Amino acid sequence: MTRDVDRQESVAPVLAVRNLDKAFGGVRAISDVSFEVTDSQVTALIGPNGAGKTTVFNLITNIFPCDAGKINFLGQNLTRLSAVRIAELGLIRTFQSARVFPGMTVLENVLVGRHRLMKNHGLTQMLWLPASGVEEHRLRARAEEALDLVGLSRFRNAHATDLPMGAQKLLEVVRALMAGPRLLCLDEPAAGLNDAETQELAALLRAIRALGIPLLVVEHNMSLVMNVADRIVVLDAGAVIASGSPKEIQDNDRVIEAYLGQDADAVA
């Protein structure tokens, strides 16, 4: 009996979305959406433009309140929590457009991501006490490693806003990773990336998964999705039309008709 209980607990979802509904001005944008994100896996949320993918992200992080449904993150109901509180719980997200901090270098942008987890604040930092110095040194080393992972180390001292858009997107993912997410939600991380940058992103996503951090990714790049995702959820007109492994999604006639179309062979 104990083994059965342990097995059930081990597969409990990190994020469980149940019967989510949302309407704007009488137009239903999300209709009865349900899916799960499992620990140490990459779950991709795909669908044609206007399918409701980013809206689902906004509902999960309570940027928009849902009209109905329930969102559980590590067993806690998120529907009445603020976006700030949700982030404090470890559900960290990025946005479609890269959002770097102007007036800061690339390295400083990465360090900002760790701010919520720093142990030494205020007077300790102002007086540069030993504990503060040790923590600062450790964080800088970690930030340097993260930048090196995505090939941005040579830009560490450049202004973040001077980076090409694709590099800014990679920087945003690295900054989010520095926040110590228990679930990392990425909204179209490959948008604006060239082929080489997309390969670097794929390597980063695999590395994050190898660290045991689950990911929920909205993405249009089907080659990236099919090569990185463990599970795919497909939205069309605000509703889930399919979910399964990449192979199952590629072979799903309804998905091919609604979204993949002639691109299905290209990502096989």
Q: How far apart are CA 127 and CA 63, in angstroms?
A: 38
- C-alpha 118/C-alpha 120 separation (Å) is 6
**What average pLDDT does this structure show over 104-122?**
73
> How many Å apart are CA 266 and CA 109, to the nearest integer?
37
State the sign of the Cα–Cα–Cα–Cα dihedral 161, 163, 167, 171: negative
Locate 44 and state its tokens.
Answer: 């991709």
- Report pLDDT digits (tens) over 136-165: 778 888 888 888 888 899 999 999 999 988
| Residues facing 159 on adjacent strands | 105
How far apart CA 152 and CA 156 sit, in angstroms, is 7
Q: What is the pLDDT of residues 21-32, one digit of tens each?
A: 999 988 999 999
Higher local confidence (pLDDT), 147 or 133: 147
Tokens encoding 68: 């109905």
Check whether 120 has a pLDDT greater than 60.
no
Q: Model confidence over 33-56: pLDDT tens digits?
A: 999 999 999 999 999 888 999 999
Helix (H) or strand (E) holding 231: strand 231-236
Banded model confidence at residue 119, pLDDT cuts 50, 70, 90: low
CA angle, 179 as apex, 8 and 138 as ends, to 5°? 115
The domains located in the chain, with CATH, are 2-100+179-267 (3.40.50.300), 101-162 (no CATH)
Question: What count of other Cβ atoms lies within 10 Å of the Cβ of residue 198?
Answer: 18
User: What helix, strand, coil percent values describe the chain, rounded to 5?
Assistant: 45, 20, 35
CA distance from start to end of the chain = 42
pLDDT tens figures, 195-220? 988 988 998 899 999 999 999 999 98
- Tell me the two tokens of residue 223: 């080659």
What does the pLDDT look like over 78-108, one tens digit per residue? 998 998 899 989 999 998 887 888 999 999 9
Helices (H), 117-267: 123-126, 130-149, 165-178, 195-210, 222-228, 246-250, 253-255
Contact 214, 39 (CB under 8 A): yes
